[in-house]
Amino acid sequence: MAHIDYYFATISPYTYLAGTRLEAIAARHGATITYKPLDVAALFGRTGGQAPKDRHESRRAYR
């Protein structure tokens, strides 16, 4: 059986844009879903990125 690991950031507004579409696609293909929330702030440090507050001024202005 097909399986989807769905990693998402609970603080991101983009997480919710898909609504129930993921569940509909999984059901159509007989797949199961495991929801895996992640802490984006902690992820930046673990992967060499910078937290938004520590980024260059031009990058903060763009954001």
Taking the whole predicted model, whether its pTM rises above 0.85 is answered as no
Q: What is the pLDDT of residues 22-63, one digit of tens each?
A: 999 999 999 999 999 988 878 877 888 887 788 889 988 886
Tell me the C-alpha to C-alpha distance, in Å, between residue 56 and each of 19, 47, 50, 51.
Answer: 34, 18, 9, 10
pLDDT at 36: 93
Q: What is the b/e burial string over 37-61, where b = at least 16 CB atoms within 10 angstroms of the residue's CB?
A: eeeeeeeeeeeeeeeeeeeeeeeee
